[in-house]
């Protein structure tokens, strides 16, 4: 089945995807969603409305449609075109501003698989697209390679807790050495922000504690030798089926006080649901 690419005139992201497909000889039908293909796009939109992301700037183009799958977002589309589903764990849909690509998570799966992301990132870089990257510290070698090549303009380091929390991860646990190495190299990113995730711990019987948050912050300060890195605290409330009670709205202050002993600029971010 021929792929359809819904694009709009003057769309930088559309140009990047078409260049990627053209370079690889991938065939597709280009539908100008605001021009001659407007009616076709309206039909497509009506049939797939629930699957199409809309941001403050409206629908984000291009949209890749083949068979039953609708893909949207530079990272998602290019990763799919590059190796199919193999690097899906490293990319998630997400809306970012013009000139940016996001949704990449270097810790999303095994490191070797993650290396297949590099050609996608290089293509974005060659076309002047800025890249928002995330990591939780796992896959430090991959992170290092990305940063050495200058493939992350903004890096968000999602800190899952102190070293003990990483050792207890049910999937791909890792050592303090690896996390510290990632924190150290992370400073090579164009911009770096650290986000401490305060969430129910594996097992679901309790949250990361303020003391553990402080230990995590201490690990960051020790690894980076920089206690002024922008540091956010994001409280993830338990999912509706969890038996754990939500943290009260004021709980974040205890975490912030604890973290600020080591990371001086810590602030509370809006809470979310795990």
Partner 1 sequence: MTYPSVYPTGATLYDPDKAFNGYTVFQAKELGCLVVDMNGGEVKLWRGLHGFPNKLLPGGQVLGHSGERNTRYGMQDYRDLIQVDWEGRVVWKFNAYEFIEDPGEDPQWMARVHHDYQREGNPVGYYVPGLDPMVEGGNTMLLGHKNLRNPAVTDKLLLDDVVYEVDWAGDVIWEWVCSDHFEAFEFDEAARNILFRDPNMRPCGGGMGDWMHINSMSVLGPNRWYDAGDIRFHPDNIILDGRETNIIWIVSKATGKVVWKVGPHYDRTPELRALGWIIGQHHAHMIPRGLPGEGNILVFDNGGWAGYGVPNPGSPTGTKNALRDYSRVLEFDPITLKIVWQYTPQEAGLVHPTDSNRFYSPFISSAQRMPNGNTLITEGGGGRIIEVTADHERVWEYISPYWGKSFRMNMIYRAYRVPYDWIPQAAPPEEIPIPAVDVTVFRLPGAAPAGARSETPMEGMMPYQSSSALCVVADPDRIEESSVK
130 binds partner 1 (CB under 8 A): no
Taking the C-alpha atoms of residue 62 and residue 20, their distance in angstroms, rounded to an integer, is 13
Minimum distance, C-beta of residue 40 to partner 1, in the bound complex (Å): 38
Minimum distance, C-beta of residue 58 to partner 1, in the bound complex (Å): 20
Residues 232-251 that bind partner 1 (CB under 8 A): 250
Edge-first strand listing for the sheet containing 69-72: 28-32, 3-7, 63-66, 69-72
Taking the C-alpha atoms of residue 146 and residue 141, their distance in angstroms, rounded to an integer, is 9
218 binds partner 1 (CB under 8 A): no
Q: Which of 127, 260, 269, 271 binds partner 1 (CB under 8 A)?
A: 260
264 binds partner 1 (CB under 8 A): yes
Q: Which of 148, 257, 272, 274 binds partner 1 (CB under 8 A)?
A: 257
Q: Is 89 exposed, middle or buried (0-12, 13-18, 19+ CB in 10 A)?
A: middle
13 binds partner 1 (CB under 8 A): no
Residues 193-212 that bind partner 1 (CB under 8 A): none
225 binds partner 1 (CB under 8 A): no
123 binds partner 1 (CB under 8 A): no
Q: Which is nearer to partner 1, 163 or 213 (CB)?
A: 213
Q: Which of 253, 272, 273, 274 binds partner 1 (CB under 8 A)?
A: 253
Q: Which is nearer to partner 1, 71 or 256 (CB)?
A: 256
Minimum distance, C-beta of residue 268 to partner 1, in the bound complex (Å): 8
Reading the block at residue 42, the tokens are 């309206």
* Residues at the site binding partner 1, with contacts judged by CB under 8 A: 250, 253-254, 256-257, 260, 264-265
């Amino acid at each position: 089945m021929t792929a359809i690419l819904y694009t709009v005139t003057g769309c930088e992201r559309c140009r990047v995807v078409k260049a990627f497909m053209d370079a690889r000889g991938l065939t597709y039908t280009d539908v100008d969603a605001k021009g001659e293909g407007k009616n076709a796009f309206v039909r497509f939109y009506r049939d797939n409305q629930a699957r199409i992301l809309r941001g403050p700037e409206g629908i984000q183009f291009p949209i890749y449609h083949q068979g039953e799958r609708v893909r949207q977002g530079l990272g998602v589309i290019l990763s799919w075109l590059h190796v199919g589903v193999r690097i899906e764990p490293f990319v998630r849909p997400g809306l970012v501003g013009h000139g940016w690509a996001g949704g990449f998570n270097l810790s999303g799966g095994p490191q070797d698989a993650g290396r297949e992301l590099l050609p996608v990132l290089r293509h974005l870089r060659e076309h002047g697209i800025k890249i928002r990257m995330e990591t939780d510290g796992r896959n430090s070698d991959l992170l290092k390679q990305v940063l050495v090549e200058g493939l992350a303009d903004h890096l968000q380091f999602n800190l899952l807790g102190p070293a003990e929390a990483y050792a207890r991860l049910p999937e791909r646990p890792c050592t303090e050495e690896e996390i510290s190495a990632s924190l150290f190299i992370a400073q090579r990113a164009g911009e770096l922000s650290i986000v401490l995730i305060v969430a129910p711990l594996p097992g679901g019987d309790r949250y990361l504690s303020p003391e553990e948050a402080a230990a995590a912050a201490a690990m960051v300060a020790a690894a980076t030798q920089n206690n002024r890195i922008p540091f956010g605290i994001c409280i993830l409330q338990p999912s509706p089926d969890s038996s754990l009670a939500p943290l009260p709205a004021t709980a974040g202050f205890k975490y912030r006080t604890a973290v600020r002993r080591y990371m001086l600029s810590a602030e509370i971010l809006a809470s979310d649901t795990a």
